[in-house]
Amino acid sequence: MNPKIVFAALLMTVAISAHAQSGSPGQNWGKLVGVNHSNAKACGATAAQLAAYKRKNMEQGKVLYGRMGDYPTDFEAGFKDAHARNDKALQANGGRPAADVCKDLLQQVAQP
């Protein structure tokens, strides 16, 4: 699956679901990044890839949401909350996402 299509679909999902979620736009963006980060970690992404993925997405979110509230704090709160929840969900369901999800996520985190 084309990573650009996956990313576009994720952005569309975030835009649609942001209205239904509680929290600031920065928190919601952090939640999405946190879930993807957690899944990529479970799929075997390296620590360097994960750090670069988080940093890149935090910067992209700053462009969109940086002037709203306290973006860095909001992003980090959403990221940590979603990461912890997803880690628990993964543990309860076999510890790893589906193979096709892993393939797409590992391609995403490998991109500079």
Sequence spans of domains, the chain: 3-12+23-110
What pLDDT score was predicted for residue 21? Answer: 59
Residue 56 has pLDDT above 90, yes or no: yes
Residue 25 has pLDDT above 80, yes or no: yes
State residue 110 phi and psi, 5-degree precision: -80, -15
Q: How far apart are CA 111 and CA 6, in angstroms?
A: 13
Confidence of residue 17 (pLDDT cuts 50, 70, 90): low
> Global pTM?
0.75
Q: Tell me the pLDDT of the chain averaged across its residues.
A: 82
Confidence of residue 93 (pLDDT cuts 50, 70, 90): confident
